[in-house]
Amino acid sequence: PDTRDRIAIIAPQLAVHRLGNVRLLVPRGSVTDAALRESGRSLEGAIVAEPFDAAGASGFVEDFVRRHREGFARDPDVFAAQAYDATVLALAELARGVSDRDSLLRSLLAVVESPGVAGATTVLPDGNSQKRSSLLAVRGGMLVRLGSGAGR
Q: Can you tell me the mean pLDDT for 64-68?
A: 95
Alpha helices in the chain (DSSP H): 4-16, 33-39, 59-72, 78-95, 101-109
Lowest mean pLDDT among 4-18, 60-74, 131-145: 4-18
29 with 5: CB under 8 angstroms? no
Q: Can you tell me the mean pLDDT for 44-59?
A: 79
147: pLDDT strictly greater than 70: no
Where does the pLDDT of residue 149 fall: very low under 50, low under 70, confident under 90, or very high at 90 and above? Answer: very low
Regarding pTM above 0.75, the answer is: no
